[in-house]
Chain A
């Protein structure tokens, strides 16, 4: 087999890994951290909106959630990267600003897309966690002269949030892996850098194997950490 004779893992390791660490890892970490924080903020706001007493707000959010959950994340990323800037330019034109060029960096588009997508899923986690808190907690808070808003934010939400943490962890691991979708919108993360290296060197087997291993090295410890968190937060308050 020609392919086997030409295998050169040594070369691939010494050339590709520094490339990955130079920029790609940084982008993955940045997207994961900022995207995840954004997702929790969005998820929290959507969950509160869904629990609002205003029917119109609940309906708007339900429609929004259906759109996000009914389309693939990859399509959403493409949409945010290619379509949204054009829409902004059209909007700028309509309000009288001529020749406005909207440039959205790929990483920014990725963070926004991942934040919105994961935020939508996380909102359901937070919403059901809030609904799962015993109504006696709210009643006790009200009986202690808290307003309904204070009862929600000071008594119910802290407990719901803590109960959601183990589920957040699972989403975090998924999110790390989904940053690879940003390759499609030209963000130089792990997959795109690897792909570029492969097309120069034709070390296909070596490069993508290294890529897979790098993802494993990131994700396996992360899911161990999540399991630890799960153990800690599934316990009662002591």
Chain B
């Protein structure tokens, strides 16, 4: 069974139809990269997957269970789906370590001592163990995003969503974040990534999804997507973004 199955997903903001009819399956361990022009609905789609946006119609099945059903436990579901944001959204009044530990300790009720070790392991993994006791505002954007990844991983999610994780970063800081994400992909984490980093897509993605106008226009492995796109719109978009 697919980890996530999305059927006929719709999202309107007033009269604006951001998602028209999105169908997709995400298998366990798959890495999806969502690309497309701005306004194509890829971020909205990603935010629908952990219900930060409430879809207007359609179905999202998580291991066969419809997460849009009335009595579905959204909070419990979010324990299984981690998310990283474009603007990191670390909690500025907590140290880096507490950012990583807070939800596991206070929401999942993990033992604080065990969680501290785990948090330190995660921070080492993203290369920031030495920053455990500083506040996020003292870190660079790239460092903050890596902390945000560690924070999401501390919840032991089954899937990770990345909403343009490198778009707010200085170019020279992008690589470190992408490397952490590559490691994560190689470890078998299921990931859905909205990004403009085509190198990352080419190297790591199992499938690249091109969205436009609130629908999925193309959905294929990266080699095919980059060498032989089916639609003119895809070709135009790739040409423009690859020439930059």
Query: Which residues from chain A sit less than 8 Å from chain B, CB to CB?
Result: 134, 136-137, 139-147, 150, 154-155, 158-159, 162, 236-238
Contacts and interface: CB of A to CB of B under 8 A. Distances in A.
Contact of A162 (B93, B103, B135): B93
Query: Which 8 A-B pairs have CB atoms at the shortest separation, nearest pair first?
Result: A140-B89, A144-B103, A136-B89, A143-B83, A237-B135, A236-B137, A145-B78, A145-B79
B242 interface: no
Contact of A140 (B75, B90, B138): B90
A145 B91 contact: no
B35 interface: no
Contacts of B93: 158-159, 162, 237
A159 B89 contact: no
A57 B193 CA distance: 42
A151 to B, nearest CB: 10
Interface of B: 50, 52, 75-76, 78-79, 81-83, 85, 87, 89-93, 102-103, 106-108, 135-138, 148, 151-152, 155
Given A137-B89, A158-B93, A145 B107 contact: yes
Nearest to A238: B135
Contacts, number: 64
B91 A155 contact: yes
13 contacts: A136-B87, A139-B89, A142-B52, A142-B78, A143-B50, A143-B78, A145-B75, A145-B79, A146-B75, A155-B91, A159-B92, A236-B135, A237-B92
Contact of B107 (A139, A150, A237, A238): A150
A11 B135 CA distance: 58
A140 to B, nearest CB: 4
Nearest to A155: B91
Q: Is chain A's binding surface mostly helix, strand, loop or mixed?
A: helix
A89 to B, nearest CB: 49
B107 to A, nearest CB: 5
B78 A144 contact: yes
A86 B107 CA distance: 50
A80 B83 CA distance: 53
> Which of B79, B81, B102 has its CB near the most chain A CB atoms (within 10 A)?
B102
A134 B135 contact: no
A141 B78 CA distance: 10
Contacts of A144: 78, 102-103, 107, 151-152, 155
B82 to A, nearest CB: 7
Contacts of A140: 83, 85, 89-91, 148
B75 to A, nearest CB: 6
A145 B106 CA distance: 10
A238 B155 contact: no
Given A143-B152, A144-B103, 16 more contacts: A139-B85, A143-B83, A144-B78, A144-B102, A144-B155, A145-B76, A145-B79, A145-B108, A147-B75, A150-B107, A155-B91, A158-B93, A159-B92, A236-B137, A237-B93, A237-B137
B107 A146 contact: yes
A147 B138 CA distance: 28
Contact of B85 (A136, A146, A158): A136
Given A137-B89, A140-B91, A155-B91, A146 B135 contact: no
Nearest to A154: B106
A143 B75 contact: no
A141 B151 CA distance: 11
Contacts of A134: 87, 89
B73 to A, nearest CB: 10
A137 B102 CA distance: 14
Nearest to B83: A143
A238 B138 contact: yes
A136 B76 CA distance: 20
B151 to A, nearest CB: 7
> Which of A139, A140, A237 has its CB near the most chain B CB atoms (within 10 A)?
A140
A137 B91 contact: yes
A154 B78 CA distance: 18
A143 B82 contact: yes
B168 to A, nearest CB: 11
Contacts of A150: 107
A87 to B, nearest CB: 44
A137 B87 CA distance: 10
Contacts of A237: 92-93, 135-137
